[in-house]
Amino acid sequence: MDIGKRVSTDMLTAVVAALFVMLGYGTAAQSGETPVLNSIFTDSARGAPRDTPLLATASRIGNYLAGSYAMKNRDFSAASDLLKRALEVDPTDTALLRQAFIAKISDGNVDEAVAMARLIVDRNGNTPIERLALVVGAIKKGDFATADAQLAKFPNRGFSGFMKPLLRAWTLVGLGRGDEAIAALEPLRSQTGLRVLYELHAALVSDLNGRSDEAVRHYELARDNARRPTLRVVQGLGRHYEVAGEKQKAGALYRAYLSENPDSVVLQLALQRLEKGEKPLFMVASPQEGIAEALFNIASTMTRENSAQLALIYGRLVTYLRGEFDLADMLVAGLLESMDRHANAAVVYGKIAATSPLYWSAQLRIAGNLEAMDRDDDAVVLLRKLATQFPERPDPLVSLGDIFRSNKRYEESVDAYDRALKVIGDIDQRHWTLLYSRGISLERLNRWPRAEQDFQKALELNPEQPYVLNYLGYSWVDQGINLQEARRMIERAVELRPDDGYIVDSLGWVLYRLRDFDGAVAELERAVELRPQDPTINDHLGDAYWRVGRRNEARFQWIRALALKPDEEQIPVIEKKLRDGLPAGRAQKDS
């Protein structure tokens, strides 16, 4: 059996979450062209990113239904075109106009969305997203008076009570009334969880107003009022120190952040800048950039609260206002990726320039999206290029190893992991996943001594990791060795992940090998409930049923296992059991 299939999907979720944390907010990347992108991610006739083909119809209702379906599937490019076509037939349909507006802005076509927003607000004034689009449209043109007039119509409660003070402070700066801006932020100061935003934007406004002492006071309060300072607070305060010539303070701040976030390439570049004696600009250099920063902060908050659609809209407004904002592009691309819009996500990641500190991260995510689109060969080409381009970074090699492993190219997988570990040098706790992954490939190559060493080292680094406990324990069970220790490890894994069908199956199987057949039946029945479509688990349950005398149920489970398409080498084994049953007294040799 292929126990490589036992890697839980929870691991992918954990890896993505780790990337978000690494960036300091919640997503990933920006600019630079990738040859792979040009042929893969664009519609040749229209040059537009496309995950699925555009299927327009001749009728209004057909385009409306197709557009609504596209919106449901988060295909904003298709929805934008289809709903616009439906709207051309009946431009008076306000509900359809609003749906088309949401599609346009989600697709990043903010100019058209702003024009639609104007019509919607004229017909129905109580439309906060549309009114926000008008504010952003006015700011883009430098018309701060119109933006301020629109903001005045927002209520001072609910979500608007959180957003309005941030945006109004910056419109006041744009109107030349910077002295009033800090007072406009005051409603945020006493709200739970918003004190950091108040202090950060008070600091940014003070920097832009030339009030250095006030700026540093607010920055340091923003730093000290959070359990851990966010990336943006550290960037803002660090840049303030650098501009003020306080290099030691800036260096200490960056190094403290990097000690807890060692993969933060943004601050690694900041340290390099500091060593060269180059002075940066302030993090926000204009009122327009201040509005973009405020919207970015709001969008980042929404990603953590799982409001992906709204976060995407705010992210699109940010990139519309401030074109070169790598973290915002990473946010937008990551949101699209989370919606399974892999081609669209890759296009946004592809915007990030080769000169950006986030370029390599963006390119890695492009490779990940290629893999998600079943374009593994293209992903391998890109990752090999990145491994050559960034020889000091292990990430492309790790991703190469993962792709090779998922394609059962285990020799190449081990080679890639070996090279990655050589680049890393001294490993620490966070590298347990790499050892675990290499261990899986080695086990599949029947190089058990090396595989066992990797699993044991991974457990040494992370003793309570349920997937490593399960994989090592199950491997021992499969070999009929260390059964009592394997049982202890797997029982702990089940305690940590009680609803993981693969891990529960492992517990059932170790009980089976220890000839506790009644206990095995109970656990394997639960495993089948959790993972009903897994052929191996169904096969195991069949064996356990046979051993407790439930022969008809055993044959039913074996037939079901065959119907679920097990690995090729398992088919004759299961077919033999259907013909002959299980031999007496050989529980440790079954399956």
Backbone angles phi, psi at 112, to 5 degrees: -65, -35
Residues for the chain: how many in total?
Answer: 591
Tokens of 547: 């051993």
Q: At what angle do helices 10-23 and 326-338 cross, to 10 degrees?
A: 160
Measured CA to CA, the distance from residue 51 to residue 28 in angstroms comes to 19
CB burial of 274-309 (b: ≥16 within 10 Å; e: otherwise) equals beeeeeeebbbeebbbbbbbbbbbbbbbbbeeeebe
Measured CA to CA, the distance from residue 534 to residue 536 in angstroms comes to 6
Q: How far is CA 134 from CA 94, 151, 463, in A?
A: 17, 9, 54
What letter does residue 178 receive in the DSSP assignment? G
State residue 16's pLDDT score. Answer: 33
Measured CA to CA, the distance from residue 332 to residue 31 in angstroms comes to 13
Tokens of 440: 């899986």
Measured CA to CA, the distance from residue 165 to residue 488 in angstroms comes to 56
Q: Assign 3-class secondary structure to 545-590.
A: HHHCCCHHHHHHHHHHHHHCCCCHHHHHHHHHHHHHCCCCCCHHHC
Each of the 591 residues of the chain gets a pLDDT tens digit; together they read 334 334 443 333 333 333 333 333 333 333 333 333 333 333 322 233 444 444 555 578 888 899 899 999 999 999 999 999 999 988 999 999 999 999 999 999 999 999 999 999 999 877 889 999 999 999 999 999 999 999 999 888 877 888 999 999 999 999 999 999 999 999 998 887 788 999 999 999 999 999 999 999 999 999 988 888 889 999 999 999 999 999 999 999 999 999 988 878 888 888 999 999 898 999 999 999 999 999 999 999 887 666 899 999 999 999 999 988 999 999 999 999 999 999 999 999 999 999 898 998 999 999 999 999 999 999 999 999 999 999 999 999 999 999 999 999 999 999 999 999 999 999 999 999 999 999 999 999 999 999 999 999 999 999 999 999 999 999 999 899 999 999 999 999 999 999 999 999 999 999 999 999 999 999 999 999 999 999 999 999 999 999 999 999 999 999 999 999 999 999 999 999 999 999 986 555 565
C-beta separation of 562 from 575 below 8 A = yes
For 31, the 3-state DSSP assignment is strand
State residue 62's pLDDT score. Answer: 86
Measured CA to CA, the distance from residue 468 to residue 445 in angstroms comes to 18
State residue 576's pLDDT score. Answer: 96
Backbone angles phi, psi at 49, to 5 degrees: -65, 140
Measured CA to CA, the distance from residue 413 to residue 235 in angstroms comes to 38
Measured CA to CA, the distance from residue 469 to residue 7 in angstroms comes to 12
